[in-house]
Amino acid sequence: MQFAIDSPPRYFYHRRGNIWNKVEQKVLRGNHSAKIDDKGRLKIPNAFRALIEDQHGPSLFVTSLSGEFVRVYPMPAWLALEERLRRMPSTHPARVKFLDRVNYFGQVGEFDAQGRVLIPARLRESAGMAGEVDVLGQDEYLDVWNHDRFLAKLHRDPFTDDDARALAEFGI
């Protein structure tokens, strides 16, 4: 992810011992609560919206692979993913399945003046997008979950020793 030339970088402060270091934030990380309004619009939390708009502008691709949750890509991140997909044969079964699903659930969107984005009706229904939701930063995109559904997912799929070992292979 890159900053537009005319946008100022965003910073956060990290403490190491008694010293605070200024660190440039370039990725979407963390969790913020949000609400879906009666018209199906998600108010993107300000911390995420400002970072996306500063780095990528207001255009988004709102989709899902499973319909269980919503994935919000800044348009440049989505276009980069499409470019990687174009390197695969157009008839590759995994490519076809992926595109079938993200296009079925997905639509191009844009932040409105209040920082809201419309969740497509089909996806809103499938993902249970109503009322309180959790918006999670996933580096280059956001995942939006129905709060209760996300808690159930965390309980259903706990972090295991095997997960820790797999991450350790990558030095994490």
For the chain, give every domain's residue range.
29-167
- How many C-beta neighbours within 10 Å does residue 46 have? 10
Q: Say whether pLDDT at 153 is over 70.
A: yes
pTM: 0.82
pLDDT band at 21 (very low <50, low <70, confident <90, very high): low
What fold is seen in the domain 29-167? Chemotaxis protein chec (3.40.1550)
The reported pLDDT for the residue numbered 6 is 36
Long-range contacts at 89-96 (CB < 8 A, ≥ 24 apart) = none
Q: Say whether pLDDT at 136 is over 60.
A: yes
Q: Write phi, then psi, for 125 (nearest 5 degrees).
A: -70, -45
The reported pLDDT for the residue numbered 27 is 83
The single residue listed with the structure tokens 């309980």 is 155
Q: Say whether pLDDT at 161 is over 70.
A: yes
What is the three-class DSSP state of 5? coil
Q: Where are the alpha helices (DSSP H) in the chain?
A: 46-56, 75-85, 93-105, 121-126, 147-156, 161-168
Q: What is the mean pLDDT of residues 28-37?
A: 92
